[in-house]
Amino acid sequence: MKKNELDGYTVELGSNQPLNLDCGVELRHFVMAFQTYGKLNKNKTNAILVCHALTGDQHAANTHPLTGKQGWWDNMIGPGKPLDTERFMIICINVLGGCMGSTGPGEINPENGEPWGLTFPVVTIADMVRAQARVLDYLGINKLFSVIGGSMGGMQTLQWASLYPEKICTAIPIASAARHSAQNIAFHEVGRQAIIADPRWENGSYAKKNVTPKSGLAVARMAAHVTYLSQAALRRKFGRRLQNRQEKTYGFGADFQVESYLRHQGTSFVDRFDANSYLYMTRAMDYFDLANENNGSLANAFKNTPIRFCIFSFTSDWLFPTSESREIVHALNAEAANVSFVEIESDKGHDAFLLDEPEFHKILSGFINGAAPQFGL
């Protein structure tokens, strides 16, 4: 295991036991990058795995080495916070296929010394989870107190509960779903086509030509970011207010504040994310269908599960609406699972799970504090 400022900890895996991917490929050499917060107890029973979303990474609660900004869940992880680092060790792993140190299309293929590009095998949410499980095996953590994540992180949480019910005590999927909807696949395809249409994408081989499809990736990010907000949030933050001007310019610059905001989101994103990783990770989300993996029954995914669940949704989230969380709850109820479900009143859209939502934080803390003694913590 190594440590550096950019990636955090990295561990090389697969040489003794290849990772069998759902696409049929054996990954014989792969690296996983992760960060930890807090200390592991003597019995190694107090670990919480935080699964990041599509555009997140392992830098959940530390200053990001590329942007200089605080981690994406800094309001959630730390001393006295819902994920209390004085009580638990928090682990966040950059997913397989990501672009912050874990093996993905932007990394070097050890077989030929060249960037993987589109020769990297297509990965699934299940592949990501199996790779995470290898990291925990390496660390000697046999059982997690909890797995938690929002959006794509929630998909990983559900996959963990299905694949490894014996390895986790509690599962907390947030603003997520057991399968990607047709609407969300459509939004992802718009983003992917924006990247592919950029001449600098070079059929996925842009790294070999030392160029970057920045325009396409920026547009993909802009389109996606709209889906993370709500109409109420957009109205409150921007309305129809003009950007640093008193009158319309009658041109195609960023006349409106909302346009300027989206352009900033796009241009800043390309400095920290890989375009091919965006293709791979959106495809992994599109392929996710937990019922289909279990003979068409979502309940079968959680058969005889011993896990204690707490599921959260947000009223203004139209990307992963409450109805999709209810489907998960119904499936768990069919298996007589121990499940709590909370719909949080919020006008902040899908991104609410990343923002300051006192009710969400309070209820999450209550669930964790209530469950911990049950598992000797």
| CA neighbor of 190 nearest in space, from 224, 225, 151 | 224
| CA neighbor of 53 nearest in space, from 75, 31, 37, 71 | 71
Instruction: Check residue 238 and give its pLDDT.
Output: 84
How is domain 184-282 classified at the CATH fold level?
Rna Polymerase Sigma Factor; Chain: A (1.10.1740)
Q: Which of 77-86, 167-176, 205-214, 234-243 is predicted least confidently?
A: 234-243
Residue 317 has pLDDT above 90, yes or no: yes
- Of the pLDDT bands very low, low, confident and very high (cuts 50, 70, 90), residue 256 is confident
Residue 371 has pLDDT above 90, yes or no: yes
Residue 283 has pLDDT above 90, yes or no: yes
CA distance 325 to 206: 39
Residue 1 has pLDDT above 90, yes or no: no
| CATH class, 2-180+289-375 region | alpha beta
Of 7, 127, 317, 351, which one is the catalytic site residue?
Answer: 317
pLDDT in tens, 30-40: 999 999 999 99
Average pLDDT over all residues of the chain: 95
As a whole number, mean pLDDT of residues 2-7 equals: 84
Instruction: Check residue 321 and give its pLDDT.
Output: 97
**% of the chain surpassing 70 pLDDT:** 100
Active site residue 350: yes
- By the 8 A CB rule, do 180 and 288 touch? yes
CB under 8 A, 24+ apart: contacts of 198-201: 198/275, 201/275
- Of the pLDDT bands very low, low, confident and very high (cuts 50, 70, 90), residue 335 is very high
Tell me the pTM: 0.96
Instruction: Check residue 280 and give its pLDDT.
Output: 98
pLDDT in tens, 145-202: 999 999 999 999 999 999 999 999 999 999 999 999 999 999 999 999 999 999 999 9
Burial zone of 252 (CB within 10 Å; 0-12 exposed, 13-18 middle, 19+ buried): exposed
CB neighbourhood size of 239 (10 A): 10
Of 102, 151, 215, 325, which one is the catalytic site residue?
Answer: 151
| CA neighbor of 168 nearest in space, from 123, 125, 132 | 132
168-174/144-150 β-pairing: parallel
CA distance 59 to 68: 11
Helix (H) or strand (E) holding 8: strand 8-13
Active site residue 176: no
Instruction: Check residue 21 and give its pLDDT.
Output: 98
Query: Where in the chain are all domains bearing CATH 1.10.1740.110?
Result: 184-282
Instruction: Check residue 305 and give its pLDDT.
Output: 97
Query: Where in the chain are all domains bearing CATH 3.40.50.1820?
Result: 2-180+289-375
- Of the pLDDT bands very low, low, confident and very high (cuts 50, 70, 90), residue 3 is confident
